[in-house]
């Protein structure tokens, strides 16, 4: 065995079977530059079974994406942050945006709009958000002059 692979949740606890989490790697043979519990920035699910090749070592069953912020529903369901990013692709009236979860049923969108702001497309974005966050989700829009880049403190820093 050359590497030890762990899959951990946001609080650095091992995830249960069939649950996605951060992939953490420790290289056991690189003495010149050891990687000890290195968070590689990917998320995945560890298999409960073994490899078809017969190896007794654990196998990653599925790579589920890159580490990013997740929005959470009251029942614990996680919505990947990239879902919200994709809602703003190819919308020329958006110069900058930031989506924050204020509460389980409240999303705030800070927007630096182009003068050609599209009310119809904004309503489309709201409809998509309510599809995943719940039909009663409050979608609050704030038009701002600029959006400050935030320092990343953890995978989930929202107040919900």
Structural domain includes residue 148: no
The domain tally of the chain equals 2
Q: Cβ-count burial of 101 within 10 angstroms (0-12 exposed, 13-18 middle, 19+ buried)?
A: buried
Q: Give, as one character, the DSSP assignment of residue 33.
A: S
Q: Give, as one character, the DSSP assignment of residue 151.
A: P
- Please report where in the chains the tokens 């919200």 appear, as a residue: 84
CATH number of the domain encompassing residue 20 = 2.30.38
Same domain, residue pair 98 and 135: yes
CATH number of the domain encompassing residue 123 = 3.30.300
The pLDDT profile of the chain, 160 residues, written as one tens digit per residue, is 788 899 998 889 999 888 889 999 999 888 888 889 999 988 899 988 888 888 888 888 888 877 777 898 999 888 988 899 999 999 999 999 999 999 999 999 999 999 888 899 999 999 999 999 999 999 999 999 999 876 544 333 333 3
DSSP H or E run through 122: helix 119-133
Structural domain includes residue 126: yes
Structural domain includes residue 150: no
Rounded Cα–Cα distance for residues 103 and 126 (Å): 16
Same domain, residue pair 21 and 78: no
Structural domain includes residue 62: yes
Instruction: Indicate the pTM of the whole model.
Output: 0.59
Same domain, residue pair 93 and 37: no
Same domain, residue pair 88 and 134: yes
Domain that holds residue 85: 70-143
Structural domain includes residue 41: yes
DSSP string for residues in 63-100: EEEE---EEE-TTS-EEETHHHHHHTTT-TTEEEEEEE
Same domain, residue pair 78 and 134: yes
Domain boundary, last residue among 66, 89, 113: 66
Rounded Cα–Cα distance for residues 80 and 91 (Å): 20
pLDDT of residue 158: 35
Same domain, residue pair 83 and 118: yes
pLDDT of residue 150: 60
């Amino acid at each position: 065995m050359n590497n030890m692979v762990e899959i951990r949740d946001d609080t650095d606890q091992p995830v249960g079977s069939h649950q996605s989490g951060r992939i953490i790697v420790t290289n056991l043979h690189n003495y010149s530059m050891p990687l000890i519990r290195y968070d590689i920035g990917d998320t995945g699910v560890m298999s409960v079974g073994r490899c078809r090749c017969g190896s007794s070592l654990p196998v990653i069953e599925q790579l589920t994406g890159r580490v990013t912020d997740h929005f959470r529903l009251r029942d614990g369901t996680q919505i990947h942050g990239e879902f919200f990013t994709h809602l703003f692709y190819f919308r020329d009236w958006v110069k900058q945006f930031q989506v924050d979860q204020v509460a389980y049923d409240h999303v705030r969108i800070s927007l630096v709009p182009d003068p050609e702001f599209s009310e119809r497309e904004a309503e489309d974005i709201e409809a998509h958000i309510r599809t995943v966050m719940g039909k009663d989700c409050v979608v609050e829009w704030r038009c701002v002059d600029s959006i400050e880049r935030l320092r990343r403190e953890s995978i989930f820093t929202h107040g919900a």
